Amino acid sequence: MDLTQDEWKSQLDSDNNAFLLDVRTLEEYNDGHIPNSTLIDFNQPQDFIDKILALDKSKNYYVYCRSGARSSKACQVMGHYGIGVVKNLLGGFMNWDGKYV
């Protein structure tokens, strides 16, 4: 599910079952990321699949990348592997106006 910045942030802030997932590269993550996010690099396909298979499928996943393209694809892959609730941040970290570290 693609959500605007406001929708995504509002849902994330009010979701007690949220898991925040950054699918960018380590270098991008180190340059700045949303607090409490977990990094799983989508550009490392086998590693990405191995790590998402180990995730708790009962969580609600809020996924972001730089612009929203990789995270959209990541959400599709996660859905394919049985993760039911995935929410993509449209515009990605480039347009993020919330807190970051």
pLDDT at 99: 85
* Cβ(42)–Cβ(65) below 8 Å: yes
Residues marked active site are found at 65
pLDDT at 98: 85
Query: Is it the case that residue 79 has pLDDT exceeding 90?
Result: yes
Spatial separation of the C-alpha atoms in residues 40 and 16, rounded to whole Å = 21
**Nearest Cα to Cα of residue 19 among 76, 66, 85:** 85
The structural architecture, per CATH, of the domain 2-95 is 3-Layer(aba) Sandwich (3.40)
pLDDT at 75: 98
Which residues neighbour 82 within 8 Å (Cβ) at sequence distance 6 or greater?
57
- Whole-number Cα distances in Å, 26 to 37, 42, 60: 12, 10, 23
Spatial separation of the C-alpha atoms in residues 77 and 29, rounded to whole Å = 21
Across 16-40, average pLDDT? 97
